[in-house]
Amino acid sequence: MREEIRENNQYYTIVGGSFRVQVDKDDPKAVRRDWTSADGTKSGTKYERIVNALVGYIEDIQFRDSDYGLQLYIALDKSADGSMPVIALSTASREAEDFLKKLPNISLLKEVRLRPFNFEGDGGEVRGMEVTQEDKEGKFTVKITNHFRDAALKININGYPDPTGETGDYSKDDWKLYFLQVRKFLVNFTKEKMQAAVAQAVVDRGTAVPQSKEQEDRITADEPNPDDIPF
């Protein structure tokens, strides 16, 4: 006998600086959105609920090819109704890039709060993903920073690629090639380093008593130093 289990995922996308989840048009919190594909060949109407932020444990990180390019899927632990929230983003989006830059600095044994943002800055539109975790009082005030950037020295670190040559002479195509290189680096780093780390954290979180000294050291090492928490 073979059983078929229906996938019970609730997919979230990002529109205008907030999460959106598709709902029935009769939902009291439904907001109508008319959409047109980037190439103008498709259009339609969706009814969605607007969600400012999502909080939970990171359960899985996956990449999948689609008609719209490579997609990033961030799965959080199950909601009270048994559904699993899954954030679906294009890897070409600024929100996905910002999240992948911060992912290595997340304490995977603890809950995370994810909040997309989109506003007009001095240099134009600013978009990304705010990632925070709890302080010792249980408030999400600990901001997770870019693993690949030394903010003080203003240099890239941890293998993050730098543009080559004289950037002042870069054309738009040159910058496109560079950002494709950056995207490939982030995806490969996540596949090689972070997917296994997330899977191990799921195992560690479900372990009431550490099964080995290695696991005990790993769980203990994941605890942040209270002196490092900013207030």
Taking only the tens place, the pLDDT of each residue in 155-165 is 999 999 999 99
pTM: 0.87
Backbone phi and psi for residue 156, each to the nearest 5 degrees, phi listed first = -80, 145
Question: Where does the pLDDT of residue 121 fall: very low under 50, low under 70, confident under 90, or very high at 90 and above?
Answer: confident
> What integer best gives the mean pLDDT of the chain?
89
Q: Which two tokens stand for residue 20?
A: 């959106």
pLDDT in the model for residue 123: 77
Pairing state between β 18-22 and 43-51: antiparallel
For the purposes of burial, counting CB atoms within 10 Å of the CB of 95, is it exposed (0-12), middle (13-18) or buried (19 or more)? buried
Of 32-46, 73-87, 191-205, the least confident: 32-46
Please state, in angstroms and rounded to a whole number, the distance separating the CA atoms of residues 109 and 111: 7
Q: Residue 151 class from Cβ within 10 Å (0-12 exposed, 13-18 middle, 19+ buried)?
A: exposed
Residue 210: band (very low, low, confident or very high) from pLDDT cuts 50, 70, 90: low
What DSSP state is assigned to residue 181?
A: H
**pLDDT average, residue stretch 54-75:** 95
Per-residue pLDDT at 68: 81
**What integer pLDDT is reported at residue 231 of this predicted model?**
27
The Cα–Cα gap between 83 and 88 comes to 15
> How far apart, in whole angstroms, are the C-alpha atoms of residue 7 and residue 151?
41
Terminal CA-to-CA distance of the chain, rounded, Å?
A: 57
